[in-house]
């Protein structure tokens, strides 16, 4: 019964994601709609900020593991540790996923990653994430579930964007990063969460779990909208 209820909640949240999340489909994404207007500096700016957000995930995972480790969610903690091991290079010859990502982006679009700082929009997202991850465990697990649930669709959208920006010329490293996540790693992560969260989630916590899922996607939506505006404004600054 508990597993069946979780499946029902999960199905409802996947519908929410499909209907609401702005990186779920290429045609609905603000950056995807605007990218053909971007000059090289704007492309670099957006790519750098997206990479910073992607890299923040490992920080969030470590924070989530630490926060929930004493709350009795042992199997979920183990799943988080497995995801961290993947992010730190278990399947990529010791290179972290961020290192593989930035190498692939540099090879494909000649973007420099040596001196990165979060923009105002990205810093706002990071502060929101810190606030979200300070809440109760069921809410935090909802955010983790959302991040894994949205990963494949967002990466498919990002791949389409990269193909457009690179004129269908992705580097081998970029292809490895995208294919590994889309076809293997993210599938395993979500399956493991589906097979473990329901064992700990009690009816009193269903609403907190849903809220965590929805709130992180809405925070990411705000980032996509505002990073698009910030990228477009950077052209005005450059040409002024």
Q: Dump pLDDT digits (tens) for 119-149.
A: 999 999 999 999 999 999 999 999 999 999 9
Per-domain boundaries in the chain = 2-112+122-239
Instruction: Pick the closest to residue 66 from 85, 80, 55 (CA basis).
Output: 80
Q: Which two tokens stand for residue 191?
A: 């399956």
Percent of the chain with pLDDT over 70: 97
Q: Dump pLDDT digits (tens) for 167-185.
A: 999 999 999 999 999 999 9
Residue whose structure tokens are 């199997």: 75
DSSP string for residues in 71-133: TT-HHHHHHHHHHHHHHTTTTTTT--HHHHHHHHHHHHH----SS----HHHHHHHHHHHHHT
* Spatial CB neighbours of 211, under 8 Å, sequence gap ≥ 6: 139, 142
**Model pLDDT, residue 99:** 96
Q: What is the pTM of this model?
A: 0.94
Whether the per-residue pLDDT at 215 is higher than 90: the answer is yes
Band of pLDDT at residue 240, cut at 50, 70 and 90: very low
Stretch 84-111: mean pLDDT, rounded?
96
Whether the per-residue pLDDT at 239 is higher than 50: the answer is no
Count the Cβ atoms, other than its own, within 10 Å of residue 165.
19
The domain over range 2-112+122-239 is classified in CATH as 1.20.910.10: yes
What value does the CA radius of gyration of the chain take, rounded to a whole number of Å?
18
* Spatial CB neighbours of 224, under 8 Å, sequence gap ≥ 6: 22, 23, 29, 30, 31
Band of pLDDT at residue 235, cut at 50, 70 and 90: low
């Amino acid at each position: 019964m508990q597993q069946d209820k979780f499946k029902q909640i999960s199905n409802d949240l996947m519908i929410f994601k499909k209907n609401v999340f702005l990186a779920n489909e290429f045609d609905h994404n603000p950056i995807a709609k605007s990218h053909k207007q971007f000059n090289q500096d704007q492309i670099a700016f957006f790519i750098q900020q997206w990479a910073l957000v992607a890299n923040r995930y490992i920080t969030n995972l470590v924070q989530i593991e630490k926060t929930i480790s004493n709350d009795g969610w042992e199997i979920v903690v183990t799943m988080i540790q497995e995801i961290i091991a993947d992010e730190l290079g278990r399947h990529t010859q010791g290179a972290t996923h961020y290192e593989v990502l930035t190498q692939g982006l540099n090879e494909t679009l000649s973007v420099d990653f040596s001196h990165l700082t979060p923009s105002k929009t990205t810093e706002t997202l990071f502060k929101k994430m810190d606030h979200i991850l300070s809440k109760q465990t069921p809410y935090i697990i909802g955010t983790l579930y959302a991040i894994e649930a949205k990963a494949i669709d967002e990466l498919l959208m990002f791949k389409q964007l990269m193909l457009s920006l690179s004129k269908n010329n992705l580097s081998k490293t970029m292809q490895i990063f995208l294919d590994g996540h889309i076809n293997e790693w993210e599938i395993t992560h979500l399956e493991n969460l589906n097979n473990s969260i329901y064992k700990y989630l009690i009816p009193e916590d269903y609403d907190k779990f849903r809220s965590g899922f929805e709130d992180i996607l809405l925070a990411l939506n705000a980032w996509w909208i505002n990073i698009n505006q910030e990228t477009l404004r950077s052209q005005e600054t450059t040409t002024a």
